[in-house]
Chains A and B, each alone.
Chain A
Amino acid sequence: DADVTQTPRNRITKTGKRIMLECSQTKGHDRMYWYRQDPGLGLRLIYYSFDVKDINKGEISDGYSVSRQAQAKFSLSLESAIPNQTALYFCATTQITNYGYTFGSGTRLTVV
């Protein structure tokens, strides 16, 4: 089993729908992150969390929300999906930032 698991792998949804992307990890890391990747723009941080009670906004948090249900689980929600949220979404974890991240396999989201 993968250390960092993202579900679903692919999703097509309609404009205005609410959608949740899930991330779970077995590495025992405290720090979890959600990024989105768009061609030419690289990886941009949406939200991150250092603990169950800790949630921090990244550079592009508008239109997104997160929930850290447990140390191992970090979910990303799009309350009302719009087409420009079509992207590849990655979850990442680490115990210490200076050691680098481990990434999940990504969720390809298409909003039509």
Chain B
Amino acid sequence: RKEVEQDPGPFNVPEGATVAFNCTYSNSASQSFFWYRQDCRKEPKLLMSVYSSGNEDGRFTAQLNRASQYISLLIRDSKLSDSATYLCVVPSYNTDKLIFGTGTRLQVFP
């Protein structure tokens, strides 16, 4: 099993839609999880951190399922500006580095 796995997409959704991405991870001992957003040819930027069962920030909700070892990112009322690649990130087993998923691409159309 890969350390972090994501569906690469792309997810093509209309403006206003709700979309969800899942990510599975192998490190059952991990205490923190992250979603990063990356625009084309730009650096990844931290979108949300998850330290317990979940986190919510405006239209974005991240949920953690420890039993099944997956985290999800829900985006409500999608905007054109949400079009980007979303990276699921989990610390390594010894927490000396972060492991990045390959990303899920989202395209929001008018």
Residues of A participating in the B interface, judged by any CB pair closer than 8 Å: 33, 35, 40-43, 45, 48, 50, 56, 58, 88, 90, 97-106, 108
Q: Shortest distance in angstroms between B91's beta carbon and chain A's nearest beta carbon? A: 5
Q: Is the CB of B43 within 8 A of A105?
A: yes
Q: Is the CB of A108 within 8 A of B41?
A: yes
Given A42-B100, A88-B41, A102-B46, 13 additional A-B pairs, CB 8 A: A40-B8, A42-B87, A42-B102, A43-B100, A97-B95, A98-B31, A99-B49, A100-B32, A100-B36, A103-B43, A103-B44, A105-B42, A106-B41
Q: Shortest distance in angstroms between A30's beta carbon and chain B's nearest beta carbon? A: 12
CA distance A15 to B45 in the complex (A): 32
Which of B34, B43, B101, B103 has a CB less than 8 Å from the CB of A100?
A: B34
Q: Shortest distance in angstroms between B25's beta carbon and chain A's nearest beta carbon? A: 14
Residues of B within 8 A of A97 (CB): 91-92, 95-98
Residues of B within 8 A of A104 (CB): 43
Closest to A105 in B: B43
Classify the interface of chain B: helix, strand, loop or mixed: loop
Residues of B participating in the A interface, judged by any CB pair closer than 8 Å: 8, 31-32, 34, 36, 41-46, 49, 87, 89, 91-92, 95-98, 100-103
Residues of A within 8 A of B96 (CB): 48, 50, 56, 97
Specify which of A33, A103, A105 lies most central, judged by the most chain B CB atoms within 10 Å of its CB.
A103
Q: Is the CB of A42 within 8 A of B101?
A: yes
Number of A-B residue pairs with CB-CB distance less than 8 Å in the complex they form: 55
CA distance A36 to B20 in the complex (A): 27
Q: Is the CB of B91 within 8 A of A98?
A: yes
Q: Shortest distance in angstroms between B33's beta carbon and chain A's nearest beta carbon? A: 10
CA distance A43 to B96 in the complex (A): 16
Residues of A within 8 A of B36 (CB): 100
Residues of B within 8 A of A100 (CB): 32, 34, 36, 46, 49, 89, 98
Residues of A within 8 A of B32 (CB): 98-100
Residues of B within 8 A of A42 (CB): 87, 100-103
Residues of B within 8 A of A101 (CB): 44, 46, 98
